Amino acid sequence: MTHVKNLSSDQKKCHLRNLTALAMKDGKLAQSERDLLEVIAREWGFSQKEMDAVAAHPNTIEFKIPGDPDARFHMLYDFIEMMIIDGELKNVERELCEAMTERLGFPQTAIRTIINGILEGNRNLSDPDDIRAGLRRKILGH
């Protein structure tokens, strides 16, 4: 579930487009990836028709980076969560994630920090919100 707040409708569509592009980067959309996209789309009030339109016409949506560092962190977290949710880490997904990390203004080390934090939290059966909050503090320093 995403925690990206205070985004305009255009920024939400852009984020959904980017997550969809990452999920499909390896040539297939795993059920776990589809489920995560649907949860995010529903949470933001997008209909299935709107979600399908984002996936079908990704180039019609302009990339918009929010000014708020907290929103950028949550976008990166969602991106990394999408990358690892199917249990496979493909090079094409990693490369796209690295480019997104740079565009959002984070160091490349943030990727490994977030992946390790998610995996460790899952092993310890930690609450997903606690995992995210701890990593947010670690990456943003507050």
Cα distances (angstroms) measured from residue 44 to each of 30, 61, 97, 127: 21, 17, 22, 22
| Domain ranges for the chain | 9-140
Q: Which pLDDT belongs to residue 31?
A: 85
pLDDT band per the 50, 70, 90 thresholds, residue 23 = confident
pLDDT at 127: 92
Identity of residue 86: D
Is pLDDT above 90 for 56? no
Handedness of CA 91, 94, 100, 104 (dihedral sign): negative
Distance CA 108, CA 102 (A): 7
Q: What whole-number distance in Å separates Cα of residue 39 and Cα of residue 45?
A: 10
pLDDT for the residue 5 = 63
> 74-92, pLDDT tens digit by residue?
889 988 988 888 887 778 8
**Higher-confidence position of 140 and 53:** 140
CATH no. of 9-140? 1.10.3680.10
CA dihedral angle for residue 32, residue 38, residue 42, residue 47, rounded to 10 degrees:
-170
Tokens at 132, concatenated:
């995210």
Q: What is the pTM of this model?
A: 0.78
